[in-house]
Amino acid sequence: MATTAKVDVPGSDPVLGVQEFLKLLLRQGEIGGVFVQTHLNPHGMPMPTLITDPERLDRADPLAPAFPMNAARMAARLTHGRSGDRVAAVLRPCEIRAFVELVKLNQGSMDEILLIGFDCLGAYSNRNYPRYIGGDDPMSLTSGFLGKTGGSEDTAQSDYDIAEACQSCENLEPLGADIGIGLVGMDLGDHFVVTAHTPQGEAVLSRLGLADVEDPSARRAAMDALVEKRTAYRNAMFERTHEATSTLAGLSEFFARCVNCYNCRAACPVCYCKECVFLTDVFDHKPWQYLGWARHKGMLKMPTDTLFFHLTRLAHMSTSCVGCGQCSNACPNDIPVMELFRTVGARTQAGFDYVPGRSFDEPPPLSVFKADEFPEVAGAD
């Protein structure tokens, strides 16, 4: 399988090439709408947008180094129930993985969606993207960010770089997508490639009448180099984070600036509860309780339950953490939440031999069990 076709880039701008590809899908009636990150203001943040009119795709900019939110949640909403037409969702690899997790949790569906992914070169944080665009039209900056050969090595600005999550992301290939847009190692002023990864993607691509090409080895080599670089960055990040939190005192220090706003949870695509227990009456403590707890040790930090919240969240969802970094992005106090969740997630995921977003055939580990497993925890008898 895995048909790979070539998409020509008009005006030496790959952003236009992606727009043309999406317009083609819409005009040929393959899809009824496109869900894609789009500039809705002259300078602001591009936001996930559902577009049905091909003309409106002119401000679509999925490859921009902006990642305001993990759109998997929105994609889940778009597919939870019937719309009557197929929508193409252009998502980052970590958004696709989160979407797959949500589908497995019955919060979204693959029935009416065509997943379009792309080689993800990362994004600046919500704080730094506005600095990156300055007073310019953001559309004009995206191709520069991608670099001439898609895999730009110079994402670093004078005093900031792409988000930590992106720098430490080794899963930048859109493997779970129906169709993947290949950018890395391409001559982006001329063309990029689209590859079908599923039968649905195969069927759609074959009807578009694009010229087939072999997946060029240049992409493989450039991708491998990028993955290697990011993996090394990730490993150093794991080590640093583990060292800082190897005791509870260290963990307490790690979250010293936490104000229990729960933004990290709200931003997390795989914190799956409709209502988080930490926002329920269970945590609506009474004055006499506070005083009682304070008397116990002579003092009580307020708000209470900070480590309780983070440890519980780790227990609830770290097996599904896709490393998107939106928790860190959303934290008002710059706590490196992603670092901790990825570090612990790597461990809990390995414990169940589970890779979030990898396959629909792998149920979330805490939703299943076997009669004979983990004898070191409690024996078969």
Question: CA Rg, the chain, in Å?
Answer: 22
- Is 273 a binding residue for another protein by CB under 8 A? The answer is no
Three-class secondary structure of residue 72 per DSSP: helix
109 touches 80 (CB < 8 A): yes
- Candidate list 54, 130, 147, 365; residue touching another protein; CB under 8 A: 365
Q: Which of residues 78-137 bind another protein (CB under 8 A)?
A: none
For the record, the structure tokens of 97 come out as: 């993985």
Contact of residue 261 among ligand SF4, another protein, none (CB under 5-8 Å per partner type): ligand SF4
- Candidate list 250, 292, 332, 363; residue touching another protein; CB under 8 A: 250
Contact of residue 276 among ligand SF4, another protein, none (CB under 5-8 Å per partner type): ligand SF4
For the record, the structure tokens of 64 come out as: 């921009």
309 touches 278 (CB < 8 A): yes
Closer to another protein at the Cβ: 211 or 378? 378
- Is 289 a binding residue for another protein by CB under 8 A? The answer is no
Buried b (16+ CB within 10 A) or exposed e, 204-215: bbeeeebeebee
Q: If binding means CB under 6 A, how many residues of this protein chain bind ligand SF4?
A: 37
> How far apart (Å, rounded) are the C-alpha atoms in residues 314 and 191?
42
Report in angstroms the alpha-carbon separations of 230 from 165, 172, 224, 353.
Answer: 10, 9, 10, 22
Closer to ligand SF4 at the Cβ: 13 or 95? 95
- Is 242 a binding residue for another protein by CB under 8 A? The answer is yes
- Is 325 a binding residue for ligand SF4 by CB under 6 A? The answer is yes
Contact of residue 1 among another protein, ligand SF4, none (CB under 5-8 Å per partner type): none
Q: Which of residues 83-102 bind ligand SF4 (CB under 6 A)?
A: none
Q: Which of residues 240-259 bind ligand SF4 (CB under 6 A)?
A: 258-259
- Is 1 a binding residue for another protein by CB under 8 A? The answer is no
Q: DSSP secondary structure string, 89-143?
A: EE--HHHHHHHHHHHHTTSS-STTEEEEEE-----B-TTHHHHHHTTS-GGGTHH
- Is 299 a binding residue for another protein by CB under 8 A? The answer is yes
- Is 252 a binding residue for another protein by CB under 8 A? The answer is yes
Return the range that interacts with ligand SF4 (CB under 6 A); candidates 175-183, 200-208, 266-274, 346-354.
Answer: 266-274
Buried b (16+ CB within 10 A) or exposed e, 346-355: bebbeeeebe
Q: Which residues are at the interface with ligand SF4 (CB under 6 A)?
A: 258-265, 267-273, 276-278, 312-313, 316-317, 321-327, 330-333, 335, 337-338, 341
